[in-house]
Structure 1
Amino acid sequence: YLFLICLAGLTVASIVTYNMQPEAKSKVPILYWVTDPNPARELQIATFKKWLAKQQGAPKFEVRVDSANNDQSKAVIQGVSGVAGDLLDHCFGARLDYYTQIGLLLDVTEDAKKLGFDPSKTYPSIRPEITINGRQYTFPCNVYAKMLWVNKATFERFQQPLPPRHWNIETFEKMGKAFVTKANAEQKYRRYFYVNDMPSNLMYWSLGLDVFNETMTKCILDDPRYVRVLKLIWKWTNEDHLIPTSAERQSFATESGYGGATFQLFNSGNYAMVWCGRYALIQFRKFGKMKLDVVYPPNFEMEVTEIGTRATGVYAAGKYREMAKYFLAYLASRDYNMNIVHDADALPPNPAFTKTEEFLRPKDYPNEWGCHEQFAQAAINIGIPRTRSPFVLATTTFRLIWQGEDAFKSGVKTAEEVSRETARRINEAIELTLRENPRLRPYYQEQLALQKKIDEYRRQNRKVPLKWILNPFYRKWYKFKKLCVENE
């Protein structure tokens, strides 16, 4: 009898527990979107519900946010166990590589064409962030382009000219020196800086150098151009003081009255300019009607900037895979894109909506007019995602670069040492990947053979067929320098 009593009790408890689950109370299937806890998700979910109701023949279901499991390690553990969320976010493409390697994301290439969320519905240069080997796995939730925000009030305060929309490295340095000299003239300690930071990749990109070669088979950062960039950033930080040192950043973080946050320092005038995408407006709007402008990254030769995305894919082992594809179609719709237009959470994933009056001139924020289109134009004309070789994890590449640059900034290693060692360590990581995943070896050998042909063409001053070039940076560089032919 005791056994039967215990069994009955467990049965009742199971029924009660099940009835407490959201699925038990819903009349339609519930899909979970594993994403960040941004408050904007509430409106995006509400808009999706209305959008879905308008789609003829679409299945009926509900989407709810799951921000508790957005950590990559949780998603992987749940994914390989068969219990991950139905929709999975990724950022910067690095997570896309990993998720597809372990089979977490569903190939949606054909469905994307049918439902209207194929790569033609987003920025051409963002394609490497949502596809692998020509197959589509995700669609963008938003797209960022890294640009320089300008606080015009700060320049007026110190009677300095505003930076031009387009400029080169020499102009940047000349105007920066004049600014910090005037701004700090009556200060016992330096309090005002021209810019909060300087991304090294934008600088060596503008010189025609990338982390990897044309076929992504080798890291080529052991190059004088990388050394030049590292030394120039050091000079701007430690001699010209256009950029704060680590110690100066720390003092801002600890002193009362400054708050420590980059955007707060920008608002207070301590940074005349800051690097960020359009999503900075989410915070800037809380500061009031700031006098804002946007300028392009300074360059040596080619004007270029970094773009990226937060994108969503369908969990390959999910119970509701077919339904989940409709959510990706929603991300390409007017309904969703206008949400991004209004809340300024970076660029809308579909560039068609950057041409609307609501995007260009938001009626409640006339102080922003003239800023929004700069991000859209940059994403289309000069944007490049961080390059990721198929022969090494992007997270490994980024980590090794950051470690090297930190060692240089702290004085532990010279720029020349960092250049050589970073390239060596990344190339060793490529070899390790090939040993651990021998299935990659045939593709690697194929790309290696193409690289030899590219190198031979370059030695002969012949134009290279663009189709040989895998690296998105070098595709843009070769076009810029007229070093390629596109129809061979």
Structure 2
Amino acid sequence: MKYVLLALIGLFVAMYAYAVSTIEVLGDPDRTTVVWATDPNPARTKQVGIFEELNPDLEGLVDKSDATKLIVRCATDTGPDVVDIYDVFSLATFAEAGILMDLTPFADSLGFGLDDTYPPLREGLSYEGKQYRFPCNVHANAIIYNRKVLADHGAPLPQPDWTWEDFIESALAVRNKPSKSGETHIPFANWNSEWVFRDLLIGHGGDFFTADGLHSRLGEEVSVQAIELFRDMALKHDIMPTSAEAKSLSSQGGWGSGGIAWFFNQQAAYIHIGRWAIVQVPVYLKRNPDLVENIAAVALPRVPGHPSRGIVGTRAAGINAKTKNPEAAKRFLQYLASRDYGALIAADGDALPPNPELARTGEDLVNEHITDPAFHQPFIDAVDNGVTIKMSPFIEAQLVQRWALEAVEQVENGADPRTAITRVADEIDNRIRQNLRRRPALQAKYEQVTGKPYRDDWWKDEIATR
């Protein structure tokens, strides 16, 4: 039965590859086509248009196909030339699968090396010492708030160097004090619980892994404190909807269609989000003509004893290792590093441009919709002060991401935070030990990282010294 199943899987992959290979890619026969697998944002059309103006011998085509099929397509020689990778978890998965070209040998000389973007982001562009991608945009979260909503409830405004206790105090005022207008407002428009927890984790001084990648840090006390604070905001203080509550409100037509809509329709006081959110502003101005004058941005609240700090992320492009147009794909990444492309990102509000020279101060990011430099500055500061999540080569990245998200959802549903997060840490550590026992390549990597010969019970010595 096992061999029949394997044969069927092989047949499916072969049939899929053949089917995709027969799909005609429309393009200009007189130009080399660069196919870019990215999101369906309408701004991509303009970005590709500028690329073609600067490179008249090349044509850019946006591929909006299902991202879940990219690994199969790339492995079967039917994939795009350039692939957007959205986070460090996906980067690890794609790099381990051999899908991405190693950019290290030529990235510096072509102008899209690690030194050509923000220092805190550089680790997140590499995997195991090799660079695999370059940013399309760069983002870190801040807090955007609505001054009108806060004033309506007599809630304190955010102040520089504020703490999460200050944030909760202000949000509770929105929740508990009747508004002068008679309107009811959501204190904190939570649109992504996973992102809130991750920034709380980093803000507490935590991370996912130790520097050597051999142990999870999610069982540390700072991680427990982070998820307990998350629990308190969602359940104890009831200042932000849980993921389930948000879905329920949206499905019932309450408050619009999710946290982002709630906030930009001026139905919420606070939102935790990146600068890319202001791409939405023109859409909501039709119903909320005073929106821009009412909103402002401020750094993430800090944990006492720690600076304001969260995660630096990026939607970043890599090159398909099997691309038939490697030189054209490299020129596309050069375009991403250019001032021409960066100016588009700054003007659209789509997070920060890849080139940090174009985002030195808030004045550099002023656009036609939000003209106050002070609004944009917290997002620059968030990138400059942020960190990327540490990953481990000893465990499947997507497992880690899934287990951590499950812990967050369990806590939202009333589970004990300490139990939920330490269970994930134990699962990760056990999986690392299991992988090392079974995979000689990882054992060699262990010896390289530690300088010690591998033993199946290596972790017992590690526990004894921790």
TM-score normalised to the size of structure 2?
0.83
Q: Deviations over 1:443-486 (max 9, x none)?
A: 2234345999xx99x99xxxxxxxxxxxxxxxxxxxxxxxxxxx
Alignment of 1:241-256 (within 5 A): 241-245=238-242, 248-256=245-253
The alignment status of 1:370 with 2:364, answered yes or no, reads no
The answer on whether the counterparts of 2:200 and 2:226 sit within 8 Å (CA) in structure 1 is yes
The answer on whether the counterparts of 1:360 and 1:370 sit within 8 Å (CA) in structure 2 is no
The answer on whether the counterparts of 2:150 and 2:269 sit within 8 Å (CA) in structure 1 is yes
C-alpha displacement at 1:18, in angstroms?
A: 9.8
The alignment status of 1:388 with 2:391, answered yes or no, reads yes
Distance 2:208 2:416 in 1: 19
1:63 partner SS: strand
Counterpart for residue 142 of structure 1 = 137
Counterpart for residue 415 of structure 1 = 417
The answer on whether the counterparts of 2:84 and 2:318 sit within 8 Å (CA) in structure 1 is yes
Counterpart for residue 132 of structure 1 = 127
Counterpart for residue 447 of structure 1 = 449
Structure 1: 5+ residue runs without aligned partners? 1-16, 54-59, 460-488
1:385 partner SS: coil
Counterpart for residue 336 of structure 1 = 341
The alignment status of 1:79 with 2:74, answered yes or no, reads yes
The alignment status of 1:50 with 2:53, answered yes or no, reads yes
Counterpart for residue 233 of structure 1 = 230
The answer on whether the counterparts of 2:101 and 2:318 sit within 8 Å (CA) in structure 1 is yes
The alignment status of 1:64 with 2:56, answered yes or no, reads no
Distance 1:18 1:246 in 2: 41
The alignment status of 1:196 with 2:190, answered yes or no, reads yes
The alignment status of 1:209 with 2:213, answered yes or no, reads no
The answer on whether the counterparts of 2:143 and 2:298 sit within 8 Å (CA) in structure 1 is yes
Cα distance, 1:229–1:28 mapped onto 2, change above 3 Å: closer
Structure 2: 5+ residue runs without aligned partners? 1-20, 286-290, 453-457
Counterpart for residue 105 of structure 1 = 100
The answer on whether the counterparts of 2:82 and 2:318 sit within 8 Å (CA) in structure 1 is yes
Cα distance, 1:183–1:329 mapped onto 2, change above 3 Å: farther
The answer on whether the counterparts of 2:302 and 2:309 sit within 8 Å (CA) in structure 1 is yes
Distance 1:395 1:208 in 2: 23
The answer on whether the counterparts of 2:281 and 2:369 sit within 8 Å (CA) in structure 1 is no
C-alpha displacement at 1:20, in angstroms?
A: 7.4
Cα distance, 1:125–1:173 mapped onto 2, change above 3 Å: same
Counterpart for residue 119 of structure 1 = 114
Distance 2:161 2:59 in 1: 46
1:110 partner SS: coil
1:82 partner SS: coil
Distance 2:111 2:244 in 1: 50
Instruction: Report the AA paired with residue 261 of structure 1.
Output: G
C-alpha displacement at 1:399, in angstroms?
A: 0.7
Counterpart for residue 402 of structure 2 = 399
Counterpart for residue 159 of structure 1 = 154
Q: 2:218 aligns with which of 208, 218, 221?
A: 221
The answer on whether the counterparts of 1:203 and 1:229 sit within 8 Å (CA) in structure 2 is yes
The alignment status of 1:26 with 2:29, answered yes or no, reads yes
Counterpart for residue 172 of structure 2 = 177
Instruction: Report the AA paired with residue 332 of structure 2.
Output: F
Instruction: Report the AA paired with residue 226 of structure 1.
Output: S
Counterpart for residue 90 of structure 1 = 85
Which of the two has higher C-alpha Rg? Answer: 1
Bigger mean CA offset, 394-403 vs 198-207: 198-207
Identity %: 28
Alignment of 1:301-312 (within 5 A): 301-302=305-306, 303-312=308-317
Cα distance, 1:348–1:389 mapped onto 2, change above 3 Å: same
Instruction: Report the AA paired with residue 403 of structure 1.
Output: E
Q: Deviations over 1:313-366 (max 9, x none)?
A: 111111111221111011000111111011111110111111378733324533
Cα distance, 1:66–1:419 mapped onto 2, change above 3 Å: closer
Distance 1:294 1:439 in 2: 47
2:272 partner SS: strand
Bigger mean CA offset, 238-247 vs 299-308: 238-247
C-alpha displacement at 1:284, in angstroms?
A: 2.2
Distance 1:422 1:217 in 2: 14
Bigger mean CA offset, 155-164 vs 434-443: 434-443
Distance 1:248 1:147 in 2: 23
The answer on whether the counterparts of 1:266 and 1:273 sit within 8 Å (CA) in structure 2 is yes
1:355 partner SS: coil
The answer on whether the counterparts of 2:362 and 2:376 sit within 8 Å (CA) in structure 1 is no
C-alpha displacement at 1:379, in angstroms?
A: 0.4
Alignment of 1:276-287 (within 5 A): 276-287=273-284
Distance 2:436 2:273 in 1: 36
2:314 partner SS: strand
1:143 partner SS: strand
